[in-house]
Amino acid sequence: MTVVARASAAKAGQRRSRAQLTETEKIKVWVRAGGVCALCHGYMLEGTLTGAPLSLGELAHIVGQQANAASPRGLDPLPRDKRDRAENVVLACPSCHAQIDKQAVAGILDVARLTQLKAEHEQRIRHLVTLPADRRTLVLRLLAKVRGNPVEVTRDTAAATVTADGRFPWFDLDRDRSGVEVDLRTLPGEQAADEDTSAAVDYYAMARSAIDEALDARLHDAVKDGPVRHISVFAFARLPLLVYLGSKLEDNVGVEVYQRHRQTQTWQWDSDAPSHDITLSQTGLLTSSPEALLVCNVSGTVDPTELSPALQALPRLTIAPTVLPTPDMLRSRACLQAFTAAAREANALLDAHKNVRRLHLVGALPPAAAVELGRLHDPHIHPALVVYSRRDDRSYRPALEIA
């Protein structure tokens, strides 16, 4: 027998002697992973091109089957009889399987890290599938630039945030399972939106149309037909668009609004963050004018001298914390609830004075508070809401009207 023949025979014998996972162990891996790649979280039972049923998952060993350097992570001291158990195998897509077995990621995705990723993924799957059906929430994302700067909230970030709150994310309104996503980042004119030009008018008009299209065509029908009973909102955009988004959310469905916090760089509400009282004050008589001004000093303070003389002359309602406002003021749900309570009080005052037909809104508001303010506005009851944006020259201009 030649050298080549002996080598081929040896390799063939090695392949025949390599143990295989039993069907029971294979089922354990698939069930615990929920049919989802534990690394990139891709769905492993459906083709991405056609949507047809297709098994894409591969069973990747954390510690290689063979106790040698040629087998990925094979020199780990894990006993040979434990290497073909479900605890040592992770469900992965072909791409992730190839990557973790390449030397390019050696030292990064080692045994400890892969074991951790597998455990975290399987715990998350178990948590989700055991939640009651009424804990499902549709994820709604509004993504835009603010003065040229975008903030990204990925599908995975949103999913992890709502999962930590005891709900499971639902993205199935569309074929690509992105939930309801309104992406304004490519709209032209955003950096000119503070200017008194046609470009600013066009930007807000296009943004409103995009929000209308997404919510009117997809979300409202889903709420009306029954599959959506709760919505989790992740929004980053200019203040007028956040208020407008909130005004489009219906009252007959539960809503949880999240925002990205500067201190923690996460979207999760911090139950340990300090709570602050937020109150409403009034200057001038609402009975004296058909128009009024609402000033919200929550993440900053509006300088009254920067307002036009016409706005300064109006009776004024002011919502502000009892401490100095800061950009990261609203870090807890309790603070957001304090803000909404003050906003409801303002609406009650306006309801009592039917002569007020237009309410001008200027303010420094965190995203979640802006969305909630829009949600509280009922166009059938409350005055038309004129929302202002702050220019670079520190003046304020009307951006859009909700009527």
Summarize pLDDT for 21-47 with one digit per residue, the tens: 899 999 999 999 999 999 988 888 887
pLDDT at 177: 57
Cβ-count burial of 348 within 10 angstroms (0-12 exposed, 13-18 middle, 19+ buried)? exposed
Residue 251 has pLDDT above 70, yes or no: yes
Residue 18 has pLDDT above 80, yes or no: no
Residue 181 has pLDDT above 70, yes or no: yes
Average pLDDT over residues 162-186: 79
Confidence of residue 148 (pLDDT cuts 50, 70, 90): confident
What is the 3-class SS of the chain, one letter each residue? CCHHHHHHHHHHHHHHHCCCCCHHHHHHHHHHHCCECCCCCCECCECCCCCCECCCCEEEECCCCCCCCCCCCCCCCCCHHHCCCHHHEEEECHHHHHHHCCHHHCCCCCHHHHHHHHHHHHHHHHHHHCCCHHHEEEEEEEECEECCEECCCCHHHHHHHHHHCCCEEECCCCCCCCCEEEECCCCCCHHHCCCCCHHHHHHHHHHHHHHHHHHHHHHHHHHHHCCCCEEEEEEECCHHHHHHHHHCCCCCCEEEEECCCCCCCCCCCCCCCCCCCEEEEEECCHHHCCEEEEEEECCCCCCHHHCCHHHHCCCEEEEEECCCCCCCCCCCHHHHHHHHHHHHHHHHHHHHCCCCCEEEEEEECCHHHHHHHHHHCCCCCCCEEEEEEECCCCCEEEEEEEC
pLDDT at 316: 97
Residue 57 has pLDDT above 60, yes or no: yes
Summarize pLDDT for 288-312 with one digit per residue, the tens: 899 999 999 999 999 999 999 999 9
Residue 331 has pLDDT above 80, yes or no: yes
pLDDT at 152: 81
Confidence of residue 19 (pLDDT cuts 50, 70, 90): low
Q: What is the CATH number assigned to the segment(s) 133-258?
A: 3.40.50
* Weakest-pLDDT range from 3-7, 41-45, 70-74, 355-359: 3-7
pLDDT at 135: 82
Confidence of residue 275 (pLDDT cuts 50, 70, 90): confident
pLDDT at 28: 94
pLDDT at 298: 96
Summarize pLDDT for 76-106 with one digit per residue, the tens: 999 999 999 999 999 999 999 988 887 656 6
Residue 62 has pLDDT above 70, yes or no: yes
pLDDT at 15: 43
Residue 12 has pLDDT above 50, yes or no: no
pLDDT at 16: 41
pLDDT at 48: 67
pLDDT at 133: 62
Domain ranges of the chain: 17-129, 133-258, 278-402
